[in-house]
Amino acid sequence: MNLSRTARTCPSRRQGFTLIELVISSALMAIILGSAYVCLNAGMATRKIVEPRTDMIQSARTALALMSADLKAACAMSKGPPFLGTDLMLETIEMDRLDFATHHFSPRKPQEGDFCEMSYFLERTPGSQGYTLWRRRSADLAMDLCKRRANSS
């Protein structure tokens, strides 16, 4: 009964928070919020760095998947070599061009066959130090790829 009597005579000691409790809780809240902001900021900065690399890797994955499908369905167009490679020089860099026929093709016009001529080659990207891989697809087949390459060069 002594405790209840003391509580009745000093009700202000049981109600509310002391100043030191408010200061400590505010400081802890500021530390937690500051830490959360630093983590969020670091995550956003990392995302900005990783995103272009991820896009580049995804583009390479898509290009390799297309090349793989084309090469898996490659076929000979004549009695000559099924693949025709061309040695090229782009400025001071030696490059190659690959021409072949493939069944990895869906005809769009009534007179087209179920295969097409494919070419892969590199060109310098304008305004950049890099190169772009080009994929050329033609449903108009030349029976002699060597003659066609000589005429288009």
Q: Give the model confidence (pLDDT) of 42-59 as tens digits.
A: 999 999 999 999 998 998
Domain boundary among 56, 72, 88: 72
Number of domains within the chain: 2
Domain boundary among 52, 72, 92: 72
- Same domain, yes or no, for 124 and 108? yes
The Cα 66–Cα 74 span in angstroms is 12
Per the structure block, which two tokens stand in for 57?
A: 């890797």
Specify burial of residue 85 (Cβ count, 10 A radius: 0-12, 13-18, 19+): exposed
Q: How many Cα atoms sit within 13 Å of 69 on the Cβ side?
A: 10
- Same domain, yes or no, for 28 and 61? yes
Phi/psi at 105 (nearest 5 deg)?
Answer: -155, 140
pLDDT band per the 50, 70, 90 thresholds, residue 84: low
CB atoms within 10 A of CB 36: 10
**pTM greater than 0.75:** no
Domain boundary among 9, 44, 72: 72
Whether 99 shows a pLDDT value over 90: the answer reads: no
Percent of the chain with pLDDT over 70: 75
Task: State how far the alpha carbon of 131 is from the alpha carbons of 66, 85, 93, 111, 149, in Å.
Answer: 18, 19, 11, 35, 22
Whether 24 shows a pLDDT value over 90: the answer reads: yes
